A and B are shown apart, each in its own frame.
Chain A
């Protein structure tokens, strides 16, 4: 195949760029402990009331500075829709849906999850600064979608 010299140079640049990007992605995924949701278990959405932990949604302290939020999303709200934790807490969210697909996006954080009926979504974040953090549904879920929101109140350390 006759390839122009400029083309060869360009192809070399392109392939090196791709290798660099792949290296960066791999580093981000494995080296820096990137937080994408993976497989955190499945659950029958019709039996949430009988299935721990979703039978008792709420905020639970695990150890000093560590909390777990067990949350159920539904059309059109979250249970609980207000979460209080002290500043500096590491909070793990365990969320599922009772009916259809929803999402959750917590402002000023990296928490951006889909919530599927049948699946458990899990992610953790540390709330350093006191204040209010709004969270909202970002996956279309019917006519109440634009009203599906809640907040996390991070209280100053006592």
Chain B
């Protein structure tokens, strides 16, 4: 890979990890607060309230870290898969510049407590216009990097007619497309509703339309976070464990499945919203369950690939083979643990999506308990595991400490079991999310919250220690003086059947893009027309923090 492209990938991932390092500083404060250990008074000049902290935590971790890491990682996987330099490099660099500019604008308002609206920023809570403008610029910048990635793919396909797109490039490009499609909702929300209103060009806004456009983006966003992990689990992990991908066709089919079914499902986040016709809640529920199909397929293919590799290494027994996987490799261990916890995240997801069960847990701590298994583990722990080889590859320096890297992933795993377990449990007992329980007026009414609160706090602190280990490894590697003796190998898995045997319709981009668009139009078209014809901008809102 060209030095220029390596650098470009490195700066994206570097800023992403910087955002994560600040984001997770706030995590243990929130977790301790759940157990009535309120450290916020000591942070006063820096952090004005629990809510400012949670906003920083959510935005830096779930919006900034993820987006920048993923654009960087996909730049890598697309170029590596296609063996090509990045096309339209100038456009990509300009896009990156916009992302950083947007980050600075939004980041400033966050630290200045002018945008403590949480990472979902539902109007009519009204942040400084710079916050929204910054986020919009960040998204547009990410589009530009995406265009340059897709242009690289286009050129390659022109040059290689009839050849199957290499899997890691294919899965990554699908995710880039998913992002371009999904963010149309938030772009419309920002440009048509929020920015004019925050600049006082219009006095008030329509809350329901805002929420609907937000969740148009909000749900596929979670697949945008997951698909890079899938690219690694399908396309890299089999190689890392010394095996092959079990089925190239199923891998491709599931990537397309995610593209098609990820967007027209946002109303499952609005089950409790008034004003959304029940019919559309029902339609989105049905479509949501379709995602189960590519998810189960992924579980099967990935586990089958692992099992074959482990049996080749002498593994025996129904589950005994698991011992024979290379657990001493921190990159492998991290991904296996991430995948294991994701299983529980998936089960929880099915519960969340079931309209009637959702009423029990909506807006309780169950929900953050759930997505710390998905975005904060399945994605984040996998991303950490990826950096254990990617940073050495990009810098040409060996990993600072394999041992500490192993400690990182196990500590994160153990911390997450306690933290997420506690949060799920607390949610089932009715504790609301996004509330500093240490100062909430009703905490004393619920003595039964005590034990899960302790689980949450203990787990949160363990997680944070895992985070500290991680950054020691990252910074140690980055600043290390030693040069690697051998060129670090990028793990790219072969599949058992050559991809040439994969049917052509699984590499027919037009077909799947059109299918996705049609489904989005069916899932959102009529109801958006209805909401827009009922457009009632009557919520003035304001700053309530």
A contacts, CB < 8 Å to B: 1-4, 6-7, 10-11, 13-15, 17-18, 21-22, 24-26, 28-29, 32, 34-40, 42, 44-46, 75, 99-101, 103, 105, 107, 110, 112-122, 134, 136-147, 149
Q: A44-B536, A117-B538 are in contact. List 10 more A-B contacts (CB 8 A).
A: A1-B503, A3-B249, A25-B289, A45-B538, A105-B364, A105-B432, A110-B360, A146-B50, A146-B440, A146-B441
Q: List which B419-456 residues lie within 8 A (CB) of chain A.
A: 430, 432-437, 439-442, 445
Q: List which B160-182 residues lie within 8 A (CB) of chain A.
A: none
Question: If A38-B277, A118-B207, A146-B435 touch, does A134 touch B442 (CB 8 Å cutoff)?
Answer: yes
| The 10 residue pairs across chains A and B that have the minimum distance between CB atoms | A142-B544, A138-B432, A138-B363, A146-B440, A121-B274, A119-B275, A14-B296, A119-B274, A38-B278, A117-B539
Judged by a CB distance under 8 angstroms, whether B534 is at the interface is yes
Give complex CA distance A39, B435 in Å.
Answer: 29
B448 → A minimal CB distance (Å)? 11
Residues of B with C-beta under 8 A to A114:
270, 272-274
Q: Which of A22, A100, A110, A134 touches B125 (beta carbons < 8 Å)?
A: A100
Residues of B with C-beta under 8 A to A3:
247, 249-250
Give me 19 A-to-B residue pairs in the complex whose CB atoms sit less than 8 angstroms apart, sorted by A's number.
A1-B506, A14-B297, A18-B293, A21-B289, A21-B350, A25-B356, A29-B282, A34-B356, A36-B278, A36-B355, A38-B276, A39-B276, A99-B540, A100-B124, A101-B207, A117-B207, A122-B274, A143-B51, A147-B440
Judged by a CB distance under 8 angstroms, whether B414 is at the interface is no
Give complex CA distance A146, B51 in Å.
Answer: 10
B86 → A minimal CB distance (Å)? 33
B9 → A minimal CB distance (Å)? 34
Residue of A nearest to B439 (CB): A146
Q: List which B292-309 residues lie within 8 A (CB) of chain A.
A: 292-293, 296-297, 300-301, 304
Contact between B430 and A107 (Cβ–Cβ < 8 Å)? yes
Give complex CA distance A141, B539 in Å.
Answer: 14
Residues of B with C-beta under 8 A to A144:
544
Residues of A with C-beta under 8 A to B440:
136, 146-147
Judged by a CB distance under 8 angstroms, whether B223 is at the interface is no
Contact with A along B500-520 (1 / 0, CB 8 A): 011100100000000000000
Contact between A143 and B545 (Cβ–Cβ < 8 Å)? yes
Residue of B nearest to A46 (CB): B538
Q: Which of A26, A116, A120 touches B207 (beta carbons < 8 Å)?
A: A116
Give complex CA distance A117, B542 in Å.
Answer: 13
A112 → B minimal CB distance (Å)? 5
Residue of B nearest to A103 (CB): B363
